[in-house]
Amino acid sequence: MGRHSCCYKQKLRKGLWSPEEDEKLMRHITQYGHGCWSSVPKQAGLQRCGKSCRLRWINYLRPDLKRGTFSPQEESLIIELHAVLGNRWSQIAAQLPGRTDNEIKNLWNSCIKKKLRQRGIDPNTHKPLSEVENVENKVPTNNENASGSNELKLLMAASTSSENSKPVVEEQKPPLMVGDRSPVEGFGSTINRIVNNSLTPTKDFFLERFVASDESSTSCRPSDSMGYFPLHQLNYSSNFANQTTSIGLSANPNPVLWLNQSCRPFEMNSEFNSSTMSTAMPSLSSSILPTSLGIKPIVNLPPANPSISSVNINGIQFWDAGSSSNSGSGSGSGSSSIELQSNNSFFENGVFPWGLADCRVESSELTPDKEAQIHLQGQSEDIKWSEYVHSSHFSTPVTVQNQNQHLYSGIKTENQFDINSLSNWHQSQQQLQASDIYGKDFQRVVLEQI
DNA sequence: AAAGCGGACAACCGCAGTCTT
DNA sequence: AAAGACTGCGGTTGTCCGCTT
């Protein structure tokens, strides 16, 4: 394997990107698509290597990026995902629309790790530090849990747990009533109960938690105050192993994850029939997910490739996501995770108020004004590309969905943009800068322009 | 006011897997 | 089948900025 040829080239700029470079790259990609990245810098007139251009586009210029600080919900989601996926940042990022793997990785290393340690949780194992220390004293560890097939390990653990019929932590708590939003139990435990079959999620249950009213959109969130449920407390273990079906699941029972994925317009390998869904989400599938709501549940079935490792637990076959992660065309080819695909009204109607912003802006009923209102109410720090698109700067209406399709499904042309409006792009940052909406680099741009 | 420090973020590096020839 | 080209990913480093002393 040779190194990337561009690594040997001289006279290539390195370091931070200037606004001019950004604009060149933006202009080029929106007009022609990126095609072969190695040819992009030449065609765009940039003294950069293709790799650098790609990175800049993916991590910064991509129009569907959601800038601003991470919400507590996002952080919570990252933690849960990390417990399952380890340091597979790209897969974690796939669950967080508008966030990049780099962004999440930085957040993890600089912030979340610290928070977890402060809470007495080992960020690598997601177990109490005291427990980890004890284990370390007895058994040599693998250091990072990210390596190898973490999911298989978890599932093996689940098998063990299931065989022993250990009561899970949640079972010690009184039954949860639908609609109960005890701040102590929080969202995670509710999901536990769904998976645990001790709680049947009705349509009302989901509506109550996800309908985009101001109140519910905040109160239903699994915020920090509601508590973070580390892996050993969440029933990723026995309940999940017992009740999911023979599909290659990411071992995360949180329907929020699945629904989050719904706004990913990925090409799926195969469709996920209702009976399978019914097994994975027993009550939910019948009450919430029928096509009347516009949900088209899809899941990647296990790859035919026999080399992909699998394990049978209690008669249930699991596939190692890690070993099949490259089965697709790259971007978001999380072939082992359930994905739901919205095909119309369900998300467009704003049923899920958080983590699905990209879906919401698809609604034909959602005017830019309304959208802006929602974001002001919810996450004031987040200004969305769609808002900019909807503004007068862009004469061509472009939906975020369109952008997602380009970015995630391998369609590389992006000429839906109004190229003439590109020059306004950095100018717009100037206008937005006052409200501290964009990242500091935009502010730098502004300062340089003044 | 200036230096030091740490956090946050952007970008680079190198490896591994896939694709193409 | 082999070698090179290309892409994607995760780890690491570099840079900027704000806060503290």
Residue A410, nucleotide of least CA–C1' distance: C7
pLDDT for A14 equals 86
Residue A55, nucleotide of least CA–C1' distance: B11
Residue A114, nucleotide of least CA–C1' distance: B7
**Global pTM value:** 0.48
pLDDT for A69 equals 83
pLDDT for A65 equals 85
A119: Cβ contacts below 8 Å, ≥ 6 apart: A228
Estimate in Å the CA A102 to C1' B5 gap, whole number. 24
- The full DSSP string for A130-181 is HHHHHHHHHS---S-TTSS-HHHHHHHHHHHHHHHTPPPGGGGSPPPPTT--
Strand C contact with A100 (CB < 7 A): no
Phi and psi dihedrals of A330, rounded to 5? Answer: 110, -80
Q: Domains in chain A, please, with CATH?
A: 11-63 (1.10.10.60), 68-129 (1.10.10.60)
DSSP state, residue A364: T
Q: Residues of A213-235 as b/e, b for ≥16 C-beta within 10 angstroms?
A: eeebbeebbbbeebbbbbbbbbb
Query: If you compute the radius of gyration of chain A from its CA atoms, what whole number of angstroms results?
Result: 22
Strand C contact with A109 (CB < 7 A): yes
pLDDT for A121 equals 84
Token readout for A207 is 């509506």
Token readout for A273 is 């029939």
- For strand C, give the nucleotides within 7 A of a protein CB: 4-12, 14-18
Task: Please give chain A's pLDDT, 450 residues, in tens.
Answer: 333 344 444 578 888 899 888 888 988 888 888 888 888 888 888 889 888 998 899 888 888 888 788 888 888 889 988 888 888 898 898 888 889 888 898 889 888 888 888 888 888 888 887 776 676 565 444 333 333 334 434 333 333 333 333 333 333 333 323 333 332 233 333 333 333 333 333 333 333 333 333 333 333 333 333 344 433 333 333 333 333 333 333 333 333 333 333 333 333 333 333 333 333 333 333 332 323 222 233 333 333 333 333 434 333 333 333 333 333 333 333 333 333 333 332 233 332 323 333 333 333 333 333 333 333 333 333 333 333 333 333 333 333 333 333 333 333 333 333 434 444 444 444 343 333 333 333 333 333 344
Strand C contact with A102 (CB < 7 A): yes
